Structure 1
Amino acid sequence: MAEAIGRAHGVALDALSRALWMAHAAGEMTDGEATTLAEAIAARRKPAGGQGTQPAPLPRKPVQRPPVRSVAVERRRRLAASGPMPPALAARFTTGELAALRIIADEHQARGSCALCIDAIAARAGVSRTTAQNAIRQAVRLGMMERQERRRPGMSSLTNLLRIVDREWLAWLSRGSKGGGLKKPSTTDTKVSLGGGQGKAVTASAVKSGWLQRDSASTSRRRHSKN
């Protein structure tokens, strides 16, 4: 066995080690002989430098970080403040979790379910993968959302399907376009202030209809009559 150990490498050393301790258990060699052979096997497993071999580290998934942190923070706050769900339900989630659930709610309204991967949800919401996962896990635990796994034997699984099932949440989303539900913030100011100290404001539609021009003409006539 000592000669076999001197010639063996890799898997062969593992087989010799098992045979060694089986022989020792059967009483075919003494404790000293078994120890000497075990040390020889350990020595054969070491590289020339004398350092013991270590298993190669598993590849780690790169940490997802936003390009500009301040922009991501502003995005998650804006999404959370847009009213993705009724206040009584929203109180159970953090700001970051609400932002992630807003992304899921948008997908649910548009397609009937959310099939985005965790990375996509997190990136759109400006949060980390862990925050997005926590939001989904909490919503599922509270019975507000259903998660359907799509496994494929022998192939990589498809992304999970997320569906909102809470009646109060669904009613809130359905009222979004009618007021009282989920709202998208407007970034355009459609009001125009009239001059002359009138303190009057009109909408863009009024300007297009010609109302602004008629009002300005009547104001001019009043000024001429006073003079």
Structure 2
Amino acid sequence: MTQFVLVAGTWLGAWAWDEVAAELRAAGDDAHPLTLSGLAEKRALPAGQQTHVQDIVDEVERLDLRDVVLVGHSYSGVPVGQAAERIGDRLRRVVYVDANVPFDGQSFLSGWPSDDVRASIDAHGGHWPPLDADDYAGQELTDEQIARVRSEGTPHPGATLTEPAVLKGSAGELPSVYVKCLLDGDAPPPAVAGLLKGDRWKLVEMDTGHWPMFSRPRELAHILRESAAGR
């Protein structure tokens, strides 16, 4: 039985994985959706990026999980990739779902035009508010899904986005799969493309938008299971 630890991106909690987790469990695996500090039911907790890394490590150790596949979507690829290094031989694989990948000394906002995000964080008391409904257009989400993401989404703690990652090695050294969602761009970021040239990384493409846990939960669950098996 593979143990999947599922971590969603900005604004989202464990609830975002409901359909994917159900598919994984129906197939005989176990799924552990995780809400990071400062979000959803944990919104009252203070959080920086290393808090989120520790959230993930603590969940793996608390449940004494082995043969773990860590799944990071969007922003959460940054703490997931750091946690993967820290859980040692408990790890089977990392799966980055249309995600950012950690590089030592770089933050989530490093390497792409983010002045507007930083300004928004400053203007909203240190938090990045959820997107407007129009920002989800063209991502294969229904009106109902967009409404749920916006109503249940939590302003994201800004410190987690601006603090640098801390890695002893490189994310490229760990067995990893990168899932690229093509409606959100037809190629991985250049830094990720570099990692995909290594022999420990594999690319999988999905013809959907940036939130496949909503738009294609069954397909995403299948990809996660195939990734865990090394296929």
The normalised TM-score by structure 2 is 0.22
Larger radius of gyration: 1
The normalised TM-score by structure 1 is 0.22
- Structure whose residues are more often helix by fraction: 1
Q: Which has the higher contact order (CA 8 A, sep 6+)?
A: 2
- Structure whose residues are more often strand by fraction: 2
